[in-house]
Amino acid sequence: MKTLALIVLLLSQITKLNAQTPHLSGKVEVVMATGQITCDFVLSNIPNLGKNYQILLNKGFNIKAIKDAANQTLKYSGFYNGAMRGEGLIYTPLYKDSTLVNPGKLHITYTGAFPVYTDTLNFIDFKGLIAFNGKTMRATDQSKWYPIIYDIKNDRQIEQMTFNIQVTSKDAKMIFVNGDEPKPGPAASFKSEVPIAPMIFAGDYGVQKTKGALFLNSQMDDKQLEVFENNIAEMKAYYFGALNIPYDTKNIFIAHSPVEKFNKGRSWGFVSFPTIAFAGIALGDMIDVQQHKLKDSTDYPFIAHEIGHYYFGNVLQPNSTLFWFFLESTAEYLSVKAAEKKFGKTFSSRYFAERGKQLKNFKAKPLNKIKDANEISGTYRYAYGPFLLRGLEQMIGEKRMFKFLNTCLVSKNELTDYNFFKRNALESGITPKEWEAYEKEFIISENAVSLIK
């Protein structure tokens, strides 16, 4: 009877989980030549959030209509003097001038056109941009090219969902939607029964398959692919051993041209798990085939940072005030540890010494005083945050540091604010006295860089 009761309980929990996972279905048309995107989507299985939700959609889109489950056209707020959340405008379906309660299903149609960058480039390129470069286009979850639900009460964007969509692009030879296989254009259907953020990458590019990964638009030869894949496997094995959480998922690696002018030597990457995209560098140029390694030791942590987002970004999906700290500072810290394992202590010593010089005049707002996620600037999240994590490691040791990170990773559905940071530190075995000392020396300081030995 106990076994039967347990099975019933588990089934009910699975049913509840699936009911709370949004599902996206419908059609999207992409015109590569003009940068136009037209979507006709049904968003169903919307979590029961009462009135505590918003619909986020890229600011470049114009909504044709929002309809309910009965196909009735709804009023909605956001079309006039709309507010922004990240890269998306905030829309709220209405019923009698008040937020529609628990819509369950919404039918949303919209269209927009985005610049096609060829010879004239933008001043910036980043994950939140819907980018057409004349050869390929990409749009990620951060760009909000599909409707994303914002859970107001829990301060989280529900970007991952199951989907079944058809993509048409008459001038695209290949189309890929994160969560499915790349398929030849001009039209293809994509589906995922596992919740995932459906990034789209379409255009004129080739696909290469290896035992452990897919490579889109990489143009590497077989020897280069082998070296690249071996390095990735090494990083994953290190993270598994350190964090005690396996990394079994196959990655998709994308090489694409940025829509921002990059100076020589600059490159950039982002993750929409399990896809990892790189801009500004030919992946094959990283490889020394003769020595069977990456040519430049700095390429190793560069790639390891993106690999590390499997843990901080996917296993743990940050939100709230320390969103950027738990997304980027942790991934950067892990990449330094991976490179330290590969190249020795001299690498990490040089890393922190060089960045310490760059941060000499940096003034940080203490993490326990952060009230808004965007108070953690790019310099803070990528450069200063890793110093705070290194400082904790310096006080408690590497083994206990990884236990702390594991404790954070296995926490579910919590706000990643300062209380989350402190609580998980204490739950991992860090004593109140140790935390008090760490907080006094590193957290409260406006610049703790000089404390790193």
Greater model confidence, 140 or 290 = 140
User: To which H or E segment does residue 183 belong?
Assistant: strand 183-184
> Cis peptide leading into 182, omega within 30 of 0?
no
Mean pLDDT estimate for the chain: 92
What was the pLDDT predicted at 386? 97
pLDDT range class, residue 2, cuts 50, 70, 90 = very low
Q: How many CB atoms lie within 10 A of CB 15?
A: 10
pLDDT range class, residue 298, cuts 50, 70, 90 = confident
- Whether 302 contacts 267, CB under 8 Å: yes
Residue 203: both structure tokens together: 């255009």
Q: How many CB atoms lie within 10 A of CB 75?
A: 13
Q: Lowest mean pLDDT: which of 70-79, 294-303, 362-371?
A: 294-303
- Whether 363 contacts 446, CB under 8 Å: yes
- Whether 409 contacts 245, CB under 8 Å: yes
pLDDT range class, residue 265, cuts 50, 70, 90 = low
What was the pLDDT predicted at 7? 38
What residues form DSSP beta bridges with 166?
27, 189
- Cα–Cα dist 149/146, whole Å: 10
DSSP 263: P
Greater model confidence, 333 or 292 = 333
Residue 10 has pLDDT above 60, yes or no: no
Stretch 15-39: mean pLDDT, rounded?
86
Query: Would you give the end-to-end CA distance of the chain in angstroms?
Result: 59
Q: What is the pTM of this model?
A: 0.85
- Cα–Cα dist 222/289, whole Å: 10
> Taking Cα atoms as reference points, which of 120, 160, 167 lies closest to residue 140?
160
Amino acid at 133: N
Residue 11 has pLDDT above 50, yes or no: no
Please report, for the chain, the start and end positions of each structural domain, with discontinuous segments joined by +: 23-205, 213-451
- Whether 340 contacts 393, CB under 8 Å: no
- Cα–Cα dist 227/290, whole Å: 10
- Cα–Cα dist 195/31, whole Å: 27
DSSP 326: I
Write down the number of H helices and E strands in the chain.
11, 25
What was the pLDDT predicted at 171? 92
Residue 242 has pLDDT above 80, yes or no: yes
CA 238, 241, 244, 248 torsion: positive or negative?
Answer: positive
CATH topology for 23-205? Immunoglobulin-like (2.60.40)
- Whether 140 contacts 199, CB under 8 Å: yes
CATH topology for 213-451? Neutral Protease; domain 2 (1.10.390)
